[in-house]
Amino acid sequence: MVGDYFETGDYFETGKLEVKFKNPLTTSCSYPCGWCNVTFTIENTGTIPAKVTAINIPTVAGLEISIADLKVGDIIPVGGSVSPTLQIHVADGAAETTTYTFIVTIEFGQFNA
> For position 66, what pLDDT does the model report?
94
Task: Encode pLDDT of 3-30 as tens digits.
Answer: 444 454 444 334 455 555 555 666 665 6
| Span 51-57, average pLDDT | 91
Architecture, CATH, for domain 6-110: Sandwich (2.60)
The structural domains of the chain, with segments of one domain joined by +, span 6-110
The tens digit of pLDDT for each residue in 65-106 reads: 999 999 999 999 999 999 999 888 888 877 777 777 888 888
More confident site: 20 or 35: 35
The pLDDT value given to residue 67? 94
Report the greatest alpha carbon distance in the chain. Answer: 47
Rounded CA separation 15/45 (Å)? 17
What DSSP line would sit under 78-98, residue for residue? Answer: TT-EE--EEEEEE-TTPPTTE
Q: Which amino acid is at 70?
A: L
- How far apart (Å, rounded) are the C-alpha atoms in residues 44 and 74? 12
Using alpha carbons, list the distances in angstroms from residue 57 to 8, 47, 75, 86, 96: 17, 28, 19, 10, 22
The overall pTM is greater than 0.95:
no
